[in-house]
Amino acid sequence: MRMKKMALGSAILAWTMLLSTGAMAVCLVPGQWWLGQGEPIAASALMAQLETREVILLGEHHDRMEHHRWQLHTLAGLYARRSEMVIGLEMLPRQAQPALDAWVAGELGEEAFLNQAQWDEAWGYDPALYLPIFHFARQHRIPMVAINIDRQLRSRLAEQGWNAVPEDERYAMTPPATPPAVYRDSLIEMLSRHPMGEHAGYDPERFIAGQLVWDRAMASGLAEMAGQGALVVGLMGEGHLAYGHGVPFQLADLGITDTQVLLPWDVGPGCKPPPEGLADVLFGLVGGGLHEPAQPVRLGILIDPDERGVRVLEVGESSLARQAGLATGDIISRAAGKRLASPAELIALIRQQPPGTLLPLEVVREGNVVELLVRFPVAGDA
């Protein structure tokens, strides 16, 4: 379920008066907190309000380092007010909990933790985006809890139905509440923009069911931690939180209503206001990727596991994969001479590939074996 603008200058200076409501900043500016109705609030006052809540939900765009910096700073502010805290993570399924516990206890280094948690298999985004948060939690011994479920269970629940999966195999989760029509519409729109949506026969209802399972799984994980004295803070994608749909809606169905959704907002030129009702609280960030590290080089393919290696579901236009000759339906059986057993292995190899080098791929296409070379650009040319 995965989601940049230029800023500063006029956006920072664009202040005006709303005569109907008194003095109020019309433009959210970088470094400023806003309550959902457009009212600026000091960080100290906001943290004083949030510390008494039961569940705080911090959204993100998964590949934005600036979003994760904001999450870390917000966690630190909350922790300073209420040190009894537990952090729930979309990034990892429940099977990763032993690795999380060992990490927080200081028993694992980064590489061992990522391997034991099967990070690449479960999530795939560069762990460097998240490790500062993980180090913060370990340093302060803040429990971290995996609130997601793996892809296989999510597919079983979405495709076979909840009654077909025994309760003990779905972590005693109950079926999701029926979402409002506007959320269903937003999911259908999301599917239309998603590469999978282009595949013939891909059922929108199946996609919606999968998203609802995802929302319910995370809401259930958070609900299990609520009411035990600690402030519960969930980290997850913005799409699961926006407008109070997704996880907040499912939490309410589970009886957890004392929640607040906090989202980062890219301040762009022209004082474009955030959509009404987007979140309970917004924080202004400089847009346009000004403070983002260089994006890692990607092959530009959508992949899935296959018993023969990794199946290519989609190839992006102008991607390295397309330039190399990869096509939809190909099976990548080897990369750099190594037989692939999972998408995670291919992701790890790509992440390690130095700029300006070649990555040989062995591809099975319509029963034939084809050798392809992916040319990684020289640093600075990507």
Question: pLDDT tens across 208-231, in order?
Answer: 999 999 999 999 999 999 989 999
Least confident of 88-92, 270-274, 299-303, 360-364: 270-274
Q: Which of 270, 293, 316 delimits the end of a domain?
A: 293
Indicate if 144 and 240 belong to the same structural domain.
yes
Indicate if 194 and 335 belong to the same structural domain.
no
* 8-state DSSP, 201: T
Of 146, 171, 142, give the one whose Cα is nearest residue 231: 142
- Per-residue pLDDT of 54-87, as tens digits, reads 999 999 999 999 999 999 999 999 999 999 999 9
Indicate if 215 and 307 belong to the same structural domain.
no
pLDDT at 196: 52
Instruction: Examine the pLDDT at 268 and tell me if it is beyond 50.
Output: yes
pLDDT at 294: 74
Residue 381 lies in a domain: no
pLDDT at 194: 64
Q: Which of 293, 313, 341 delimits the end of a domain?
A: 293
pLDDT band, very low/low/confident/very high, at 366 (cuts 50, 70, 90): very high
Which residue reads 């990555």 in tokens?
359
End-to-end CA distance of the chain: 25
How far from the centroid of its chain's Cα atoms is residue 338's Cα?
Answer: 29
Q: How many separate domains does the chain show?
A: 3
Maximum distance among all Cα pairs of the chain, rounded to whole angstroms: 72
Residue 110 lies in a domain: yes
Indicate if 35 and 74 belong to the same structural domain.
no
Region 230-235: mean pLDDT is 99
Residue 185 lies in a domain: yes
Residue 380 lies in a domain: no
Residue 382 lies in a domain: no
Instruction: Examine the pLDDT at 343 and tell me if it is beyond 70.
Output: yes
Indicate if 200 and 273 belong to the same structural domain.
no
Indicate if 282 and 202 belong to the same structural domain.
no
Indicate if 35 and 58 belong to the same structural domain.
no
Residue 85 belongs to what domain range? 54-257
Provide, rounded to the nearest whole percent, the portion of the chain with pLDDT above 90.
Answer: 74
Find out whether 360 and 354 touch, Cβ atoms under 8 Å. no
pLDDT band, very low/low/confident/very high, at 195 (cuts 50, 70, 90): low
CA distances from 265 to 39, 63, 175, 276, 279 (A): 14, 15, 32, 13, 10
Contacts of 314 (CB under 8 A, 6+ apart): 195, 196, 198, 199, 301, 302, 328
DSSP-assigned states of every residue in 10-49: HHHH----BTTTBS--SS--TT-EEETTTEEE-HHHHHHH
pLDDT band, very low/low/confident/very high, at 381 (cuts 50, 70, 90): low
The pair of structure tokens assigned to 315 is: 């190839």
Indicate if 131 and 174 belong to the same structural domain.
yes
Write down the mean pLDDT value for the chain: 89
Instruction: Examine the pLDDT at 124 and tell me if it is beyond 90.
Output: no
* 8-state DSSP, 378: P
pLDDT band, very low/low/confident/very high, at 21 (cuts 50, 70, 90): very low
Report the distance separating Cα 117 and Cα 115, nearest Å.
5
Indicate if 188 and 81 belong to the same structural domain.
yes
- Per-residue pLDDT of 144-170, as tens digits, reads 999 999 999 999 999 999 999 999 999
DSSP-assigned states of every residue in 340-353: PSSHHHHHHHHHHP
Which residue reads 């924080």 in tokens?
283
- Per-residue pLDDT of 304-342, as tens digits, reads 899 999 999 999 888 999 999 999 999 999 999 999 999
Indicate if 227 and 269 belong to the same structural domain.
no
pLDDT at 380: 61
Report the distance separating Cα 333 and Cα 311, nearest Å.
9
One-letter amino acid of 197: G
pTM score: 0.84
Instruction: Examine the pLDDT at 362 and tell me if it is beyond 80.
Output: yes
